[in-house]
């Protein structure tokens, strides 16, 4: 495959990392409503090419979009209540009941209020016989995954939202459960309607972005949650025992930052079976992703070359071991099915020769994180060391410090190197010097987290702290962020580094 595929259909452009959940909205979480359309306008006004988002899948325990109960479904919280009201499905009083004044996402409040609101809208949809043909068409086009997803969620509700491997046997076995689907028809229809509304609103937003010259960069986690429709409907694709418990789970080995390692808890893929089946499960998943995104960032890319697995039941990741995965064969198969797929490889972490070989074979652009660049004299993350343009450069990531806090914490030789490699213009902050260094690099795409353009600290805007199970994914931007001063600053650095799109 090689590195001949070195662009996305554009060259030397920039974008902003802004999660949907972090957008302004009066309804407790960002959604596909006015705040999202305003952000597209903001991207166009600042001459950006890409909007990168975090996974759009439903969230569950821990609120992480990387631990979803369904890898191909959409998050119900992102459905805009105002659009439902415009469609005549919610009253003004019902809309007012969905308002939330807090400046952080409160997932508990959403769980206990939002589904009641959606049920009211759905009931009106049914009673008034609205858009039946469009809904039936959506179900028909997506039945390969949608029927099982709806049944899984219906059984979730019926079983008090407990993990599926604790359900009664007739529910736990997907094949048996499908025979009972008619008993849960109304509930299944509700969950299919939620997906109908999600994709209807998301498609309209994508069309608006495209009409303004903006590409959407999506994010696909490498693993799926054990308590998910994915594992329930195809347990043979994972390493499980006779009781559907994982025999081992995913994690990261101990290092200087985490002496116990990171215990993610996701089940490990049955790679031998997947390879025998010509990776059909993966090809389907990637195909679904490209219905939602223009460009796909694949998380934890190194896990496709070799993955770290920990015995199930261990309290930390110390006893884990490495095993190889058939990444080269997998991505060659994906390329055959999707020859025009635009993919970014998150090639971070413990990078070994097999990972480098996989990246070279696929030709995917890897990621360059500038916060990693100043610990070594000739780090591969320093822009002056980039051998070619086939990469995507970031100041930081959703798992990292806000750059303002990162700069505040470094010292010694790291700080000296940072000052030498990242000089400031007169009146420029360290954060904007880092942004300019990223945009000045030869990387084909530069993506800056919105928190860095706003110069937020960790206390104000950090999105996620790895291995900390609670309190993450709650950051939201102020609804007053779209100032002329901010737009001028972003536009200035974008045009000076020759990354701006045409007006």
Residue positions annotated with a catalytic role = 299, 346, 399
Structure-token match 């028909």, residue found = 140
CB 302 within 8 A of CB 351: yes
Q: What are the backbone dihedrals phi and psi of residue 425, each rounded to the nearest 5 degrees, phi first?
A: -75, 165
Residue 379 to residue 393: CA distance in whole angstroms: 14
Which pair of structure tokens corresponds to residue 189?
A: 């229809």
The distance from CA 2 to its chain's CA centroid, rounded to whole angstroms, is 26
Partners of 394 in the β-ladder: 369, 447
How many other C-beta atoms can be found within 10 angstroms of the C-beta atom of residue 228?
25
45 CB-near residues (< 8 Å, 6+ apart)? 487, 491
Q: What are the backbone dihedrals phi and psi of residue 330, each rounded to the nearest 5 degrees, phi first?
A: -60, -50
How many other C-beta atoms can be found within 10 angstroms of the C-beta atom of residue 288?
16
Burial of 330 (0-12, 13-18, 19+ CB in 10 A): buried
Q: In what order do the strands lie in the sheet with 248-252?
A: 262-267, 248-252, 306-311, 321-324
Which pair of structure tokens corresponds to residue 182?
A: 């008619």
Residue 373 to residue 388: CA distance in whole angstroms: 17
How many other C-beta atoms can be found within 10 angstroms of the C-beta atom of residue 18?
25
Residue 306 to residue 112: CA distance in whole angstroms: 40
Long-range contacts of 241-247 (CB under 8 A, 24+ apart): 243/165, 244/164, 244/165, 244/172, 245/165, 245/312, 246/312, 247/311, 247/312
Residue 381 to residue 220: CA distance in whole angstroms: 23
Residue 12 is given by DSSP the state S
């Amino acid at each position: 495959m090689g590195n001949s595929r070195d662009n996305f259909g554009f060259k030397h452009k920039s974008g902003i990392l802004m999660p949907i959940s972090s957008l302004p909205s009066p309804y407790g979480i960002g959604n596909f409503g006015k705040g999202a359309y305003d952000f597209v306008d903001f991207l166009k006004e600042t001459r950006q090419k890409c909007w990168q988002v975090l996974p759009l899948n439903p969230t569950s325990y821990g609120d992480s979009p990387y631990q979803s109960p369904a890898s191909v479904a959409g998050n119900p919280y992102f459905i805009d209540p105002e659009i439902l009201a415009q469609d005549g499905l919610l009253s003004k009083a019902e809309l007012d009941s969905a308002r939330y004044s807090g400046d952080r996402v409160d997932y508990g409040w959403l769980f206990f209020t939002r589904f009641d609101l959606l049920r009211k809208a759905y009931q009106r949809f049914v009673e008034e016989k609205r858009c039946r043909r469009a809904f039936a068409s959506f179900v028909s086009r997506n039945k390969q995954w949608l029927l099982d997803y709806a049944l899984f969620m219906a059984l979730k509700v019926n079983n008090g939202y407990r993990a599926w491997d604790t359900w009664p046997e007739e529910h736990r076995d997907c094949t048996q459960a499908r025979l009972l689907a008619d008993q849960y028809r109304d509930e299944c229809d509700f969950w299919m309607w939620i997906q109908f509304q999600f994709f209807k609103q998301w498609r309209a937003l994508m069309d608006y972005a495209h009409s303004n010259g903006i590409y959407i960069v999506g994010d696909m986690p490498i693993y799926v949650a054990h308590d998910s429709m994915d594992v329930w409907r195809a347990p043979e694709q994972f390493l499980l025992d006779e009781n559907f418990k994982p025999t081992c789970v995913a994690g990261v080995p101990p290092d200087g930052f985490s002496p116990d390692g990171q215990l993610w808890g996701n089940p490990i893929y049955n790679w031998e079976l997947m390879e025998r089946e010509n990776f059909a499960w993966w090809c389907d998943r990637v195909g679904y992703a490209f219905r939602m995104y223009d460009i796909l960032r694949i998380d934890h890319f190194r896990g496709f070359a070799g993955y770290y697995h920990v015995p199930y039941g261990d309290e930390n990741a110390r006893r884990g071991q490495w095993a190889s995965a058939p990444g080269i064969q997998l991505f060659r198969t994906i390329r055959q099915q999707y020859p025009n797929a635009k993919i970014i490889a998150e090639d971070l972490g413990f990078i070994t020769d097999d990972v480098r070989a996989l990246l070279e074979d696929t030709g995917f652009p890897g990621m360059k994180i500038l916060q990693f660049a100043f610990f070594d004299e000739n780090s591969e993350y320093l822009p002056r060391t980039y051998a070619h343009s086939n990469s995507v450069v970031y100041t930081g990531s959703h798992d990292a410090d806000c750059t303002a806090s990162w700069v505040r914490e470094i010292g010694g030789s790291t700080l000296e190197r940072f000052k030498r490699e990242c000089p400031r213009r007169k009146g420029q902050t360290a954060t904007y010097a880092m942004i300019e260094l990223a945009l000045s690099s030869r990387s084909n795409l530069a993506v800056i987290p919105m928190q860095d353009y706003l110069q937020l600290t960790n206390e104000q805007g950090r999105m996620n702290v790895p291995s900390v199970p609670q309190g993450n994914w709650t950051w939201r931007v102020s609804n007053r962020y779209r100032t002329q001063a901010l737009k001028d600053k972003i536009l200035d650095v974008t045009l000076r580094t020759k990354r701006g799109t045409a007006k």
